[in-house]
């Protein structure tokens, strides 16, 4: 009888420990309606629906929630530097971030236009890379339509302002924005290459 009670006790302890662990690692799924209300302070730069009016600020509409959440946490924690965003993100809780990410990911990215003179080179780099320069194809991580891969943390690029993408690629090339994979890709891109591929992804739908 004693051994039976011992077995039951051990089983109960194991179940409780598993439940506690599950609760501790549970991910809060954001509420888009709450996110819309909380996005009011973001609208001045990123637009009411996440489609910013100028390339100085990225479009957030349609971006993967996982990427948006990780980016906001990086700003909050200081691992990604931006004076404006550091201040904005500092007061955000994890729930706030999840709600904002849930809202913006449900919005539709506004279309962009590609410079006709840059299409050929931009498409080459995006789809096939440039083996002679050691540049990998963008499709490997961002997909054939530029939609990215949410589960891997690779952002959507389609429809993004060409000017914003160009600025980010140059930051990766110079090392002022750190990401081992992107630093490696960008270091072999010329200014003309960056301009071409940024224009191309901006026109993807």
pTM of the full structure: 0.85
Domain layout of the chain by residue ranges: 32-105, 116-202
- How does pLDDT run across 43-93, given as a tens digit for each residue? 999 999 999 999 999 999 999 999 999 999 999 999 999 999 999 999 999
Q: Is CATH 1.10.760.10 the right assignment for the domain spanning 116-202?
A: yes
Residues 6+ apart with CB under 8 A from 138: 125, 126, 127, 129, 146, 157, 197, 201
The tens digit of pLDDT for each residue in 90-141 reads: 999 999 999 999 999 999 999 888 999 999 999 999 999 999 999 999 999 9
* Cβ neighbours for 20, distance < 8 A, ≥ 6 positions apart: none
N-terminal to C-terminal alpha carbon distance within the chain: 69
Q: Is the dihedral of CA 35, 97, 160, 83 positive or negative?
A: positive
Same topology between domain 32-105 and domain 116-202: yes
Q: Say if residues 61 and 107 touch (Cβ distance below 8 Å).
A: yes
Provide the CATH topology of domain 32-105.
Answer: Cytochrome Bc1 Complex; Chain D, domain 2 (1.10.760)
């Amino acid at each position: 009888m004693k051994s039976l009670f011992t077995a039951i006790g051990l089983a109960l302890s194991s179940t409780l420990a598993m439940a506690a662990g599950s609760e501790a690692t549970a991910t809060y799924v954001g509420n888009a309606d709450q996110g819309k209300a909380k996005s009011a302070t973001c609208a001045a730069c990123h637009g009411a629906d996440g489609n910013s009016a100028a390339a100085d600020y990225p479009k957030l509409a349609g971006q993967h929630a996982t990427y948006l959440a990780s980016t906001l946490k990086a700003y909050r924690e200081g691992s990604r530097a931006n004076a404006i965003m550091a201040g904005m993100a500092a007061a955000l809780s994890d729930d706030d971030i999840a709600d904002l990410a849930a809202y913006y990911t449900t919005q539709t990215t506004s279309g962009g236009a590609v410079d006709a003179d840059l299409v050929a080179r931009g498409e080459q780099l995006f789809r096939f890379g440039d083996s002679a320069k050691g540049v990998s194809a963008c499709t490997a991580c961002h997909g054939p339509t530029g939609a990215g891969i949410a589960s891997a943390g690779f952002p959507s690029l389609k429809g993004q302002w060409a000017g914003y993408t160009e600025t980010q690629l140059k930051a990766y090339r110079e090392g002022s924005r750190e990401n081992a994979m992107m630093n490696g890709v960008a270091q072999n891109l010329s200014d003309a290459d960056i301009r071409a591929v940024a224009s191309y992804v901006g026109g993807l739908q």
